[in-house]
Structure 1
């Protein structure tokens, strides 16, 4: 039996937001390097769609955290103990007894319950930050939803949310994209710089060797 967990609805929305980000891309696969930047119109629409995706992810996590915080069971740190014993969403039979024993400790149940709220607020808030913080949020989201996958059996939902946060964490800019030609130019510049440094070092070694030989002749 398939459990309705909301992941399918989120996947539909995100798939729609990916369309304007992909239509202007002329590559056969996303593994290939870009030969030319997107046209300005496509670049702007792709950036706008990605920005909407980030806002959508922020709404999902922040609204979820707010809804949970309004529930007294979440505020009192008791809800995880209730969920883990639920026959539909609870922990799998092999680990249910161990999980229940851990959550019977009031302090541990409260810490884990509030940790869920803090993680969700952190992931949602990171969508308004620069790319580096969104990447940290991706790592946290993967670990967070991995535990959900194991403890609650929501495999589809967990995988979808991991992918959605990863997509929202990509570094995007409305400015000109870096192409393979730009990368080749940068590589050639690095190679020329290394050759110049190597020539300078060789010249310094020859000068040092000449000076040493002259000193030896004088001493002789």
Structure 2
């Protein structure tokens, strides 16, 4: 379970919206303060969403943790992931639209592009990290495999720590090597823009297939 969560979270770090937001925040004179607000608000929102899902299913008698439940959850999550990968492969989902997130409206993008304030940065954190397909698949696996709250919370925290790796690295760079922070994140953004389709395609098909196979063998 941990391996799937790690890979899904890692693929989520290349969301175009979050990359653009981090680059915009780094261009501001108060980049450290803005990045703190961005990361804190974003993590509070995404972790809160994950905890809500875990607590909502905790105590509900669905035989969570049973082999059949695990298998069904893996098959469903895997089938969705494979379908997503096929949609990317066939061109039904374009790579720049497939960032594991709902389409971001022009109004939301304006939050990043307008005059940046602490409030804007705090709002941008959740808006650029709306729960997407990979996060929902990960939560599906977490709830089915680890119904106990403490371990479920740890899995949710692990996913989100990886998901926010880029803004956390950007914040650390601002503190340790401020002169190179923009160049570091800019290089990551360019790499992600050139390879996002391949990354999303491989993760969707490989993780999806692995989940389906494990689900079938479990049942």
TM-score, scaled relative to structure 1: 0.33
Judging by fraction of residues, say which structure has more helix: 2
Greater relative contact order (Cα 8 A, min sep 6): structure 1 or 2?
Answer: 2
